[in-house]
Amino acid sequence: MGSMSESKAVKLPAASAFLASAEVGEEAARWLGFLAGERRSSRHTIDAYGRDLRFFLGFLAEHQGALADFAALRALEPADLRAFLAKRRNEGLESRSLLRALAAVRSFLRFLEKKGLAKTDLFGAVRAPKRPRSLPKALAIADARDLIDQESRAGEAREPWVLARDAAVLALLYGVGLRISEALSIERARAPIGAIDRVTILGKGGKTRTVPVIEPVRRLVENYLDLCPFELSGGPLFVGTRGGPLSPRIVQLAVQRMRGALGLPDSATPHALRHSFATHLLGRGGDLRTIQELLGHASLSTTQIYTAVDKTRLFEAYRLAHPRAD
C-alpha cells in the first residue's frame, strides 16, 4: 500500500520541461518514467534527478549555443562535464549535491546508450567531487559511562555473566578506543587482566598495534571472567551464550536496548563509543599523534576529523592562550 501511494504521488515532468530538442525531452520524460516504474525510485530521487537533468540540459544549451540533440549528447567530452560541475559549484552546490547531479546525468546517458543514442565512456575521465566526510557523533561523557555501566541493564532478564560480558566489551571500545571487531578478536590467553595493562590488536590492513588498558577496564574484564560459565582457554575472550565466538550483532542489540532505556539518540552505537574515546581524549588535552596511534589510523588526516568534533575545546584553548584573542 505504501509504495502504491508513493508512486501515485510522483508527478513526472513533461518533455517540454527540458531545455533540449523535442526528441531528447521525450527521452528524458521516458527515463523518469523508467525510474518511477521499473526502478521504483523514490519520489525524492525522481524529483532531484529530474531537476539535475534540467540544469544539465539548460547548461548545454548555453554552453554550446543550441538545444542539445542526440548528436550533441554523443559528442560530449569530459571537459563538458567538468564545466557543468564547475558552474554548479560556483552556484553554491556542495559536493553531495554535485555527486547526485553527476549520477543523474550518468543515469540518463546510460538510459540513452542502451538505445544507441549517447555514450557514457566520458565519465571515466571525470574526477568525481570528493564525498564529504561526516563527523563522528560522540556521546556525552555521562552517556558513554551509562552505556558501560552494568547497572543500566539491571532490569533486563539476562544472566549476570552476559551483562558483565557486554559491559567489558563496551568498556574496551570507550576506554581503549577499539573497533568492535578488534575487541571481539582478543584471545583469552591475551586478556588484559591483573598486571597485564596492554593488549596487542590486529587492526585494519593487517596492522598490529599495542594499546594500554586502564585499570577500570581491566576490572570489568576480570569481573566477566569470574562470572563466565565456560572454559575459555585456547579460544576467544568473549563468547556467546552457547560458548561460541561472540557476534558483533549481539553487542549492537544490547546497545540498542540500552539506548531506548536511557533515552539516547540512534547515533549511540558501539562504534560511537570509539569516537567518544578519541573526542574525549582530545578534549582533555590528548596529543593528536598519540590518538592516531591508539586508534590505529594509517593517516593523521583521518584522526584530524576529531578536531572538528571538539571545536569548543580548541576555541577555548585559543582564547585562553593567544595574546590577541581578546
Is 271 among the catalytic positions?
Answer: yes
Catalytic choice (218, 259, 274, 275): 274
Question: Are 184 and 221 within 8 A, CB to CB?
Answer: no
Is 44 among the catalytic positions?
Answer: no
Catalytic choice (88, 275, 280, 297): 297
Runs of H (alpha helix) within 203-268: 215-227, 248-262
Identify the CA nearest to 199 among candidates 274, 191, 224, 281: 191
Question: Are 82 and 2 within 8 A, CB to CB?
Answer: no
Is 297 among the catalytic positions?
Answer: yes
Catalytic choice (43, 137, 145, 271): 271
Is 259 among the catalytic positions?
Answer: no
CA–CA distances in Å: residue 21 to residues 17, 24, 201 = 11, 5, 61
Is 188 among the catalytic positions?
Answer: no
| Grid cell locating 197 | 595493562
Catalytic choice (153, 179, 259, 275): 179
Can you count the helices (H) and strands (E) in the chain?
16, 2
Q: What are phi and psi of 46, to 5 degrees?
A: -65, -45
Q: Which residues contact 227 (CB under 8 A, 6 or more apart)?
A: 160, 161, 164
Catalytic choice (39, 131, 204, 207): 204
Is 224 among the catalytic positions?
Answer: no
**CA pair distance 76, 81, nearest whole angstrom:** 8
Residues forming the active site: 179, 204, 271, 274, 297, 306
